């Protein structure tokens, strides 16, 4: 039995609205996720792949790796490319810093020495990934040298935390997206989706 909040969200997203809607996010999700001509499983998998890769510290390669992963796993590429933008110039610092903190917490269970203190890591994050730095210095050698030094100092913690947070976010995104699409298509049957009505495979 699906929860009432999911049904309420579907109703909100599918209700007729004026041409100039004040909720562009809901309109975007409606037309670029709910109305994709593919099975719910493939769309949800694509969304999950994009979310997982968005959490990884592979700056500059997110889109390429997302396309490759979605192709290999036969997931929907549009959904994957939509969700990978979870990681952007405004969210990269909080995502990576929270990954680093989780990685530190888990790694300190087995190893107690710190190569870099949390205060030092915080300062390096802000200096390297500040909007002004990324807008003005992204193509400079100084930015990439600073990025290399940061990842060299905290790479294991960063990858450990990002993979865990990415997996949890991707799992939640998959379940949410899959069920939302199934509810939407039951409430709004359309001929072009009939071939996916009993599709439970990727």
Q: Which two structure tokens, joined as six digits, stand for 1?
A: 């039995």
Asked whether residue 176 is domain-assigned, the answer is yes
- Identify whether 104 is part of a domain: yes
Two structure tokens written together for 178: 């899959």
The overall average pLDDT reported for the chain is 77
**Domain containing 187: what range?**
4-15+24-195
Among 7-16, 28-37, 101-110, 146-155, the minimum mean pLDDT is found in 7-16
Q: What is the pLDDT of residues 136-189, one digit of tens each?
A: 666 667 767 777 777 777 888 889 999 999 999 999 999 998 998 888 888 877
The pLDDT assigned to 145 comes to 75
Report the range of poorest mean pLDDT among 9-23, 59-73, 148-162.
Answer: 9-23
**Residue 28 within any structural domain of the chain:** yes
Residue 202 belongs to some domain of the structure: no
Q: Is residue 116 part of a domain?
A: yes
Task: Say how far apart CA 122 and CA 124 lie, in whole Å.
Answer: 5
pLDDT band at 5 (very low <50, low <70, confident <90, very high): low
Number of structural domains (the chain) is: 1
Distances in whole angstroms, Cα of residue 47 to Cα of each of 26, 91, 104, 111, 135: 16, 18, 28, 35, 28
Q: Using the predicted structure, report yes or no on whether residue 21 has a pLDDT greater than 50.
A: no
Q: Residues 6 or more apart from 110 whose CB is under 8 A from it?
A: none
pLDDT of residue 135: 61
Residue 135 included in any domain: yes
pLDDT band per the 50, 70, 90 thresholds, residue 20: very low
Report the predicted TM-score, pTM, of the whole model to 2 decimal places: 0.74
């Amino acid at each position: 039995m699906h929860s009432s909040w999911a049904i309420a969200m579907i109703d909100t997203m599918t209700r007729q609205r004026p041409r100039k809607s004040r909720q562009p996010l809901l309109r975007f999700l409606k037309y670029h996720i709910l109305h994709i001509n593919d099975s719910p499983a493939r769309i949800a998998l694509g969304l999950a792949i994009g979310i997982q890769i968005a959490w990884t510290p592979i700056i500059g390669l997110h889109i390429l790796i997302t396309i490759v992963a979605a192709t290999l796993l036969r997931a929907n590429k549009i959904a994957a490319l939509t969700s990978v933008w979870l990681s952007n110039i405004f969210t990269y610092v909080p995502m990576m810093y929270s990954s680093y903190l989780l990685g530190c917490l888990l790694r300190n269970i087995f190893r107690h020495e710190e190569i870099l203190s949390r205060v030092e890591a915080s300062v390096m994050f802000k200096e390297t990934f500040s909007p002004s730095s990324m807008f003005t210095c992204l193509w400079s050698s100084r930015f990439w040298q600073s990025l290399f030094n940061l990842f060299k100092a905290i790479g294991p913690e960063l990858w450990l935390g990002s993979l865990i947070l990415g997996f949890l976010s991707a799992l939640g995104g998959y379940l949410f997206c899959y069920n939302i699409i199934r509810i939407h298509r039951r409430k709004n049957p359309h001929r072009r989706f009939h071939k996916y009505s009993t599709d439970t495979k990727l």
